[in-house]
């Protein structure tokens, strides 16, 4: 018998992760919410966590994230994702519980719930999208809006004398003993996207190891409300957000510090 | 240099052009047609087979519509050794 | 089992434990704090979930999370704390997850005081969150009933996947009397809709969002059908000496108990009075009151509450225009004495169904329409 072997001529290098649902998202073209979703889903796939993960979605542009991820999911009230996640995690300490929240949800209306989840050292992971604006309601000033940035509710530019300065969530939460992991990453180019993914992977690992509260702040774009093309918006993240929001590891558990740390650039 | 190809899910693509900017080989272009959602999707236009399968396009794609393949080099012919006992 | 001397708040807490409450979240507020304190040791002893939250807002959302995760979950608070929870209450109903909440009512508005009150009737029955729904509201009048209704609250919450309130007031929360606790039940298994990690099954989602108007209307119609079923099946009330009564006092909770003493005293004088005590404030025993009014025997109703006349509106709706409905209430944490209710009833009897002018002009009496 003669067997003819056919050599493979190509290999699969990258495909859409299983933890993302097949559904088309409602996000605007070029919105990095989609990128962040993909990264989280890739990490869930790679750590084989899809079947043991519970997502708590928030209110804002990412309100439908509960159906964009193919995992068990809840939709929390505005700002309350960390409280809801606490309830879920306390009932299922052996499951992976994460929230996906924007800056209005987490840093404005939900700051108390977020801070106290960190203070309790709640063993959950928070994916925090900072795009310096309220997206869903149409581009109002967020607590993360840059000084001087024009929004529909700061039409003359954010006046820090009237509204204060942008809130630095990663630094703020790093100061809390219950926080095990707090870093800031960006998604403005491929290299930074890959660094963001690594951080998300570390955050979930922190939770798997039961080390406490973990948060990854992701600098993101909002082309629609910034009134830019998607590529212009990414340049705006690089040129305007990075100087205000330095990337870096603000807190990393000692046991994980041997791994290569993200570069502050 | 490795070679490869990408497959873009044109119905999922929103035509944001982030992959165009990310592609170091400049082999992605916007299609001259509209998909079901009304966007001009990105397309691989690679007549000279310059795509390296680096996947940077997929890394920046917010909609997860790019699948990347890299060519596997054909195995080199094994030299036939004579006079060596089996 | 035998009776033991129990404080109301602690009896409710222990009843919840024995009913299989798996997760408790709460924030201290007088006059319900002993309930939280009891849970803080008891739940941990049993390896269950207890957490003192940073606020009532967080507490209700933790309950929402734990209930979504498939646990029997509860919180307890008092009036201003319940006001803070309103948003979460609505999400719980909108997502159809079961939850039990105990409200040990205190005087309002604002910070008010920590004395007993029934000023939360409207807050619980009429407006416990935005949207078209009522929670089930159970109103015990003594500690035994508080225990029994707490157990029932968990069962009703599960059967209908909805929000159930047990409403007590500071009197019931703080007083002690002999009562019997139920046997310890095993924790119930997780419902199939719960968030447990999807494993090999399709994804479960707990959400209250329906972006399309048609879908949201369809959900609301389903919700209304469920509420109609609850209204049909779950009405509970106490009818005391109503068989031959010509005058009926309508009161709930602690006041119902006080009014019963007044009725007993007047009965001893040969006066045909009775007590109608709603146990479910929602669903309200509307049909039963209506039938009573239609019997042709009742000369007048006297509604008495520790508020300005909140249940009064529901009684009037049920009774209609043919029989006069009068009101006697105390506010601000003042608990009426049996004699006050007795006097109001006696005046009603002497006035042949009308309250005399002196009572009408008094600060607590509301003139009939």
Q: Which of C199, C233, C267 is a domain's end point?
A: C233
Task: Name the residue among C176, C315, C180, C181 with its Cα closest to residue C252.
Answer: C315
Task: Check residue C1 and give its pLDDT.
Answer: 63
Q: Domains, chain B, ranges and CATH?
A: 4-68 (3.30.70.3270)
Phi and psi at residue C336, in whole multiples of 5°? Answer: -70, 145
Per residue, the 3-state secondary structure of chain C, as one string, reads: CCCEEEEHHHHHHHHHHHCCCCEEEECCCCCCHHHHHHHHHHHHHCCCEEEECCCHHHHHHHHHHHHHCCCCEEEEECHHHHHHHHHHHHHHHHHCCCEEEEEEEECCCCCCCCCECCCCHHHHHHCCCCCCCCCEEECCCCHHHHHHHHHHHHHHHHHHCCEEEEEEEHHHHHCEEEECCCCCCCCCCCCCCCCCCCCCCCCCEECCCCCCHHHHHHHHHHHHHHHHHHHHHCCCEEEECCCCCCEEEECCHHHHHHHHHHHHHHHHCCCCEEEEEECEEECCCHHHHHHHHHCCCCCEEEEEECCCCCHHHHHHHHHCCCCCEEEEECCCCCCCCHHHHHHHHHHHHHCCCCCCHHHHHCCCEECCC
Nearest CA in chain C to A122: C51
Contact A122/C at CB under 8 A: no
**In chain C, how many domains are there?**
2
Which residue has tokens 């309250």?
C355
**CA dihedral sign, ordered C153, C154, C159, C162:** positive
Interchain CB distance below 8 Å, B18 and A31: no
Tens of pLDDT, residues C50-90:
999 999 999 999 999 999 999 999 999 999 999 999 999 99
Helix C8-18, helix C143-160: angle, nearest 10: 40
Q: Which of C233, C262, C285 is a domain's end point?
A: C233
User: Are residues C358 and C312 part of one domain?
Assistant: yes
Phi and psi at residue C202, in whole multiples of 5°? Answer: -65, 160
Contact B68/A at CB under 8 A: yes
| C-B interface (Cβ pairs under 8 Å ≥ 3) | no
Q: Which of residues 90-119 of A touch C (CB under 8 A)?
A: 90-92, 95-96, 112-113, 116, 119
Euclidean distance between CA atoms C310 and C216, whole angstroms: 31
Contact C70/A at CB under 8 A: yes
Interchain CB distance below 8 Å, C54 and A63: no
User: Are residues C139 and C17 part of one domain?
Assistant: yes
User: Are residues C277 and C147 part of one domain?
Assistant: no
**Helix (H/G/I), strand (E/B), else coil: A150:** coil
Tens of pLDDT, residues A211-225:
999 999 999 999 999
User: Which CATH number characterizes residue C359's domain?
Assistant: 3.40.50.920
Tens of pLDDT, residues A65-77:
999 999 999 999 9
Q: Domains, chain A, ranges and CATH?
A: 32-256 (3.40.50.970)
Pick from B12, B59, B70 the residue to mutate for testing the A interface (most A CBs within 10 Å): B59
Of A66, A71, A87, nearest to C25 by CB-CB distance is A87
Confidence of residue C368 (pLDDT cuts 50, 70, 90): very low
Confidence of residue B76 (pLDDT cuts 50, 70, 90): low
Torsion of CA A253, A258, A259, A262, to 10 degrees: 70
| C196 touches A73 (CB < 8 A) | no
Range of the domain at C298: 238-366
Task: Check residue C190 and give its pLDDT.
Answer: 97
User: Are residues C225 and C277 part of one domain?
Assistant: no
| A171 touches A249 (CB < 8 A) | no
Tens of pLDDT, residues C253-280:
999 999 999 999 999 999 999 999 999 9
Task: Check residue A212 and give its pLDDT.
Answer: 98
């Amino acid at each position: 018998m003669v067997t003819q072997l056919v050599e493979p001529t190509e290999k699969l290098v990258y495909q859409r992760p299983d933890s993302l649902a097949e559904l088309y998202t409602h996000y605007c073209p070029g919105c990095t919410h989609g990128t962040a979703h993909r990264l989280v889903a890739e990490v869930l796939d790679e750590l084989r966590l899809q079947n043991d993960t519970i997502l708590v979605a928030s209110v804002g542009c990412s309100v439908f994230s509960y159906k964009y991820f193919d995992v068990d999911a809840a939709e929390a009230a505005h700002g309350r994702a960390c409280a809801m996640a606490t309830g879920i995690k306390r009932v299922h300490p052996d499951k992976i519980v994460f929230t996906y929240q924007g800056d209005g949800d987490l840093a404005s209306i939900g700051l108390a719930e977020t801070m106290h989840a960190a203070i309790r050292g709640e063993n959950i992971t928070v994916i925090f999208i900072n795009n310096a604006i309220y997206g869903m309601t149409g581009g109002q000033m967020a607590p993360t809006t840059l000084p001087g940035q024009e929004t529909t509710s700061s039409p003359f530019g954010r006046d820090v004398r009237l509204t204060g300065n942008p809130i630095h969530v990663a630094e703020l939460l790093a100061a809390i003993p219950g926080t095990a992991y707090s870093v800031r990453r960006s998604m403005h180019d491929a290299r930074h996207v890959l660094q963001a993914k690594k951080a998300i992977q570390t955050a979930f690992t922190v939770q798997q190891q039961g080390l406490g509260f973990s948060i990854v702040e992701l600098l993101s774009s909002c082309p629609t409300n910034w009134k830019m093309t998607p590529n212009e918006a990414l340049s705006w993240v690089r040129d305007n957000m990075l100087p205000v929001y330095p990337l870096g590891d603000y807190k990393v558990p000692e046991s994980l510090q041997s791994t290569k740390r993200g570069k502050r650039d | 240099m490795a070679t490869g190809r990408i497959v873009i899910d044109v119905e999922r693509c929103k035509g944001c052009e982030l992959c165009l900017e990310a592609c170091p080989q400049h082999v992605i272009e916007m299609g001259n047609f509209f998909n079901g959602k009304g966007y001009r999707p990105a397309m691989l236009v690679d007549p000279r087979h310059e795509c390296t399968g680096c996947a940077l396009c997929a890394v920046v794609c917010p909609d997860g519509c790019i699948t990347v393949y890299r060519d596997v080099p054909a195995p080199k012919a094994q030299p036939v050794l004579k006079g060596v006992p089996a | 089992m035998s009776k033991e001397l129990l404080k109301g708040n602690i009896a409710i807490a222990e009843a919840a434990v024995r009913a299989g409450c798996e997760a408790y979240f709460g924030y201290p507020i007088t006059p319900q704090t002993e309930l939280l304190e009891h849970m803080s040791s008891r739940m941990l002893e049993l390896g269950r979930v207890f957490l003192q939250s940073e606020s009532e807002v967080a507490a209700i959302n933790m309950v929402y999370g734990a209930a979504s995760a498939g646990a029997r979950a509860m919180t307890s608070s008092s009036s201003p704390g319940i006001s803070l929870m309103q948003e979460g209450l609505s999400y719980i109903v909108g997502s159809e997850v079961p939850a039990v909440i105990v409200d040990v009512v205190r005087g309002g508005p604002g910070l008010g005081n920590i004395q007993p009150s029934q000023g939360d009737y409207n807050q619980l029955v009429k407006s416990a969150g935005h949207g078209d729904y009522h929670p089930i509201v159970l109103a015990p009048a003594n500690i035994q009933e508080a225990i029994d209704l707490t157990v029932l609250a968990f069962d009703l919450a599960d059967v209908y996947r909805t929000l159930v309130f047990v409403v007590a007031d500071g009197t019931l929360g703080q007083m002690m009397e002999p009562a019997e606790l139920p046997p310890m039940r095993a924790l119930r298994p997780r419902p199939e809709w719960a968030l447990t990690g999807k494993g090999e099954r399709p994804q479960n989602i707990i959400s209250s969002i329906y972006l399309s108007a048609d879908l949201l209307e369809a959900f609301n119609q389903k919700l209304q059908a469920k509420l109609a079923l609850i209204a049909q099946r779950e009405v509970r009330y106490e009818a005391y000496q109503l068989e031959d009564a010509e005058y009926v006092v309508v009161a709930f909770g602690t006041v119902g108990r006080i009014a019963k003493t007044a009725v007993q005293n007047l009965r001893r004088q040969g006066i045909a009075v009775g007590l109608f005590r709603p146990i479910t404030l929602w669903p309200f025993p509307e049909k039963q009151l209506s039938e009573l009014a239609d019997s042709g025997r009742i000369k007048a109703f006297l509604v008495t509450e520790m508020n300005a006349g909140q249940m009064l509106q529901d009684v009037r709706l049920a009774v209609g225009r043919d029989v006069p409905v009068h009101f006697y209430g105390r506010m601000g944490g003042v608990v009426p004495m049996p004699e006050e209710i007795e006097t109001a009833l006696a005046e009603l009897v002497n006035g042949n169904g009308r309250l005399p002018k002196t009572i009408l002009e008094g600060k607590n009496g509301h003139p009939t329409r």
